[in-house]
Structure 1
């Protein structure tokens, strides 16, 4: 029998049915679609490109910018601090937006349409960076703010499908496959953009032009492949009907307030969430600012940096599958703790990494790739088991505050450290606090008890 013909249990409001293989593959494809934004825009091209635009506005270039400043909205900052500050501001906005989006998703029978709205809005803002030229750093910052907030909102809705399409025992595998699929898709587009970087002379284009068109390509990729999940995912009956006669947005705000109050009834879920917000903020900051660190501190060219980050994407695909396998054998919680130890080692090595040593940077990138996808996938699957049934969207709205591309404390600390010391090495080692504190917080969570407290059945291994 084909995946499309897989028998389904009847839909009833009290028991949402699981999915067919066809629908799960469609769900994976949204990770494939949106990872182009995380990889090509956030991780590789926008940081250095927006920094160069800001440096041009400040009337300097590269090493001559140590004492230069720009004045966005009348505030004097170093050009090199613009991108991390912009990332931090975008996430400050998501703190208010994403939980409401999650609550609305749980109260709306059109969850798939909400996914389309935010995905296409983010893709349009990304594509609009075609006009990011000259010294228009404020345009780049504004478009990124819109794109990153829309990205986070779309992933809230996307993640809320996970408990609806997979059982407790299968969730680590499904989540890991989604992340692996995403890194494969993001890596494939980055491969095409790397080819363009390496061929820039024969194409008659500057590095800046290649960066700008690569950013635009991520927006087109995001929009194009989003059509697949929209065709395959299904809206499901609400477990609780929306309040009669009340607008779904207003109902969403009410539900958000109820969610925040109800977290007191699930203290272990809240404890896990705090641990996740800490360590994943560090992970996301490394992802967002690795290219800026490699370019500005280690003096590596795009010919080294971009292929290395490309390698990371494909290793992250393998790493997500590897850590998913380890989680099945040893438990997701134990495997996740092990990955945080490796992240701590990576940050220490990055601090001592000598400049202009491409082989050492490539080796460090290999270590990042092996733990990157798996640590994120297992975090998502663990959290999905700590959510009371029927409230996936609102809880993932809070979770997403520090998910892919939406960290804020890390970029803020990185930006402040650099703004104060003008040293990227001090900025990168400052991130160590997130991994150490996150590990200790996660270690203190009694995960089996936390799952049971949320009314769910723990898997056999944790």
Structure 2
């Protein structure tokens, strides 16, 4: 293994987790509710935040499979990763300009930033198969998420100090929060540099074609993948399971903070609890990587999803900041492990020769599902007049996901993907 390339790949998780932590989970949801959505009632601002997340993910669903297929055909994973990283950095920089009542501007920038964040992750994930041998993927994938927790957690702690002690820096709280958004953009860009310098994708003979031809070829490849995915029954079962449980996980990440604002938990408690989540997640993500190497990845993943189901049930009854702290610790315990193990299991089930294309489908499956979760959360909340019913609705996603995942035979799935690679070589 190329240790420098692996460390550089891991550092990208450190870089972009600042966006996931501060924009998607911790600071922006509070800012959206209290500043950008100042003239909206709390349930409406929560719903609008959910719709914003759903729309951004809908765009990811439309673009990522085609982009992945094109990237495979032109050895272009790194170029697409760089493009989406720059786009995300620019969108996050513009969040510095969001002011009171500008919920629509905030939504547009979050949609653009989340599109870029998710698009970049499609190509970042696809490098795992290029640079890490199969027997090391659980460990390296878990290390990536652990570094993400560290990086996101450090910047969140710094930004929490900036916001909490804004008077010391001669800022208003709004100005301090706007500067926090700017720090995310800088952090994301600076710590992405090692990957762009040291990680190389496996080269294949490029296919020279015009942008129009590449797009047509990409669309054709996606259609071909949709038709051929039935040849990988275990992969298909895993994708369906992932569709459900990933929806539940993503909705918790994106809606927990604004839900806490709605039920009256203060900003300091909300951000501090999410900071705890980050640092609980560091050792626990590594721990689950080691457990999976001894206990196998699938049963370990199922265990983390059962914990999530318990979190959702307890979240319905949450009323105080102490409750939020306890649930944040539980989320930190399983969040990184569940995501890392999902990624490593999936990497075993796909044909190696088409990994960027199939990782786009991985992104597609999760993001398509994630369109539904925040939207259901918002719709149920508006319908019932409270978001408690919205949080309870997530239990169904985890129950179905667990049942479907239990039916996946990973060993058989590996054989199916290996057979596909062999037939590809024969052809």
Aligned counterpart for 1:307 among listed residues 265, 272, 275: 272
1:38 aligned to 2:20?
yes
Structure 1 match to 2:417:
454
Structure 2 match to 1:27:
9
1:332 aligned to 2:314?
no
For the Cα contact (< 8 Å) 2:57–2:371, is it kept in 1? yes
Structure 2 match to 1:419:
382
Query: Structure 1 residues 148 and 237 mapped into 2: Cα distance closer, same or farther (>3 Å)?
Result: same
Structure 2 match to 1:285:
251
Alignment of 1:39-118 (within 5 A): 39-58=21-40, 65=41, 78-118=44-84
Alpha-carbon distance between aligned partners in 2 of 1:135 and 1:294, rounded to the nearest angstrom: 20
1:264-315 C-alpha deviation (Å, 9 max, x unpaired): 2112211101111110110011111111111211x21122111110110111
For the Cα contact (< 8 Å) 1:402–1:408, is it kept in 2? no
Query: Structure 1 residues 386 and 152 mapped into 2: Cα distance closer, same or farther (>3 Å)?
Result: same
Aligned counterpart for 2:187 among listed residues 221, 227, 231: 221
Q: Structure 2-normalised TM-score?
A: 0.93
Alpha-carbon distance between aligned partners in 2 of 1:420 and 1:435, rounded to the nearest angstrom: 22
Alpha-carbon distance between aligned partners in 2 of 1:115 and 1:424, rounded to the nearest angstrom: 36
For the Cα contact (< 8 Å) 1:243–1:251, is it kept in 2? no
For the Cα contact (< 8 Å) 2:58–2:368, is it kept in 1? no
Alignment of 1:14-413 (within 5 A): 19-58=1-40, 65=41, 78-238=44-204, 241-242=206-207, 247-297=213-263, 299-353=264-318, 355=319, 357-401=320-364, 407-413=370-376
For the Cα contact (< 8 Å) 2:75–2:206, is it kept in 1? no
For the Cα contact (< 8 Å) 2:33–2:42, is it kept in 1? no
Structure 2 match to 1:14:
none
2:135 counterpart SS class = coil
Structure 2 match to 1:441:
404
TM-fit CA distance, 1:439: 0.5
For the Cα contact (< 8 Å) 2:68–2:357, is it kept in 1? yes
TM-fit CA distance, 1:117: 0.7
1:201-251 C-alpha deviation (Å, 9 max, x unpaired): 33343433332222221122111211111011113212x653767733332
1:276 counterpart SS class = helix
For the Cα contact (< 8 Å) 1:152–1:401, is it kept in 2? no
1:101-135 C-alpha deviation (Å, 9 max, x unpaired): 21112112232222111111111111111111132
1:414-451 C-alpha deviation (Å, 9 max, x unpaired): 01111111212111111111111110110111221112
The more displaced of 244-253 and 174-183 is 244-253
Query: Structure 1 residues 66 and 96 mapped into 2: Cα distance closer, same or farther (>3 Å)?
Result: closer
Query: Structure 1 residues 426 and 31 mapped into 2: Cα distance closer, same or farther (>3 Å)?
Result: same
1:163-212 C-alpha deviation (Å, 9 max, x unpaired): 11111111101111111111111111111111112212333434333322
Gaps of 5+ in 1: 1-18, 59-64, 68-77, 458-462
Q: Structure 1-normalised TM-score?
A: 0.87
1:48-96 C-alpha deviation (Å, 9 max, x unpaired): 21223453344xxxxxx269xxxxxxxxxx2331111010011111111
CA RMSD of aligned residues (A): 2.0
2:202 counterpart SS class = coil
Query: Structure 1 residues 273 and 418 mapped into 2: Cα distance closer, same or farther (>3 Å)?
Result: same
Alpha-carbon distance between aligned partners in 2 of 1:409 and 1:207, rounded to the nearest angstrom: 33
For the Cα contact (< 8 Å) 1:39–1:186, is it kept in 2? yes
For the Cα contact (< 8 Å) 1:91–1:407, is it kept in 2? yes
For the Cα contact (< 8 Å) 1:242–1:251, is it kept in 2? no
2:55 counterpart SS class = helix
Alpha-carbon distance between aligned partners in 2 of 1:115 and 1:159, rounded to the nearest angstrom: 10
Alpha-carbon distance between aligned partners in 1 of 2:200 and 2:306, rounded to the nearest angstrom: 39
Structure 1 match to 2:424:
none
Query: Structure 1 residues 289 and 217 mapped into 2: Cα distance closer, same or farther (>3 Å)?
Result: same
TM-fit CA distance, 1:452: 1.3
For the Cα contact (< 8 Å) 1:30–1:226, is it kept in 2? yes
Alpha-carbon distance between aligned partners in 2 of 1:283 and 1:402, rounded to the nearest angstrom: 13
